[in-house]
Structure 1
Amino acid sequence: MVKIFGHRGAAGTYPENTMPSFRAAEQLGADGIELDVQLSKDGTVVVIHDETVNRTTNGRGRVNSYTYEELSRLDASHSFYKKTGFCSIPSLEEVLRWLQGTQLLINVELKNNKLPYRGLEESVIHLLRKYELEPRAVLSSFHHASMVKCRELAPDIETAVLYKRGPHKPWEYAQKLGAGAIHPNYAYIADPVVELTLAHGIAVRPYTVNKEKYMRKLMRLQVTGIVTDYPEVARRVLQEEQRKGR
Structure 2
Amino acid sequence: MTLIFAHRGYSALYPENTMLAFKQAEQAGADGIELDVQLSKDGEVVVIHDESVDRTTNGRGYVKDLSYSDLKRLDAGFRVKTNLKKEPIPSLRDVLEWLTGNKMICNIELKNGIFPYQGMEEKVIELIREYKLEKRIVLSSFNHYSIVHCYRMAPEIETAPLMGQVVYMPWVYAESIRAKGIHPKYKTLKDEVILQSEQYGISVRPYTVNKEKNMAHLIKLGCSAIITDDPVRALRVRHRLEKESK
TM-score by length of 2: 0.99
Distance 1:82 1:149 in 2: 41
How far apart, CA to CA, are the structure 2 residues paired with 1:239 and 1:79?
A: 32
**Whole-angstrom distance in 2 between the partners of 1:162 and 1:126:** 22
User: Is 1:208 matched with 2:239?
Assistant: no
Cα distance in 1 for partners of 2:198, 2:69 equals 43
Contact 1:38–1:110 (Cα < 8 Å) also in 2:
yes
* Cα distance between partner residues in 1 of 2:157 and 2:38: 19
In 2, the alpha carbon distance for the partners of 1:51 and 1:198 equals 33
Aligned match of 2:197: 197
Q: How far is the alpha carbon of 1:164 from its aligned partner?
A: 1.1
Equivalent residue for 2:8?
8
CA RMSD of aligned residues (A): 0.8
3-state DSSP class of the match of 2:16?
A: coil
After superposition, what is the alpha-carbon deviation per residue over 1:10-50, rounded to whole angstroms, capped at 9, x for unaligned? Answer: 01100000000000000111001000000000000000000
Q: Is the Cα–Cα contact under 8 Å of residues 53 and 62 in structure 2 kept in the other structure?
A: yes
- Equivalences, count: 246
- In structure 2, the partner of 1:90 is 90
Cα deviation, residue 82, structure 1: 3.4
Q: CA deviation at 1:78?
A: 4.0
The CA deviation at 1:198 is 0.7
Shift of 1:211: 0.4
Where does structure 1 differ by over 6 angstroms across 4 or more consecutive aligned residues? none
What are the superposed Cα offsets for residues 80-114 of structure 1, whole Å, 9 maximum, x if unpaired?
A: 14324211000000011011101111000000011
Q: Which amino acid aligns with 1:48?
A: I
* Unpaired segments ≥5 residues, structure 2: none
Q: How does 1:24-103 map to 2 (within 5 A)?
A: 24-103=24-103
Q: 1:186 to 1:84 in 2, by over 3 A?
A: farther
Q: CA deviation at 1:167?
A: 1.2
The 8 Å contact of residues 75 and 88 in structure 2, kept in 1 or not, is answered as yes
Q: Secondary structure at the match of 2:83?
A: helix
Q: Distance in 2 between matches of 1:143 and 1:166?
A: 16
Q: 1:226 to 1:78 in 2, by over 3 A?
A: farther
Q: TM-score scaled to structure 1, two decimals?
A: 0.99
Work out whether residues 9 and 16 of structure 1, in 8 Å CA contact, stay in contact via their aligned partners in 2.
Answer: yes
Q: Does the 8 A contact of 1:55 with 1:78 survive in 2?
A: no
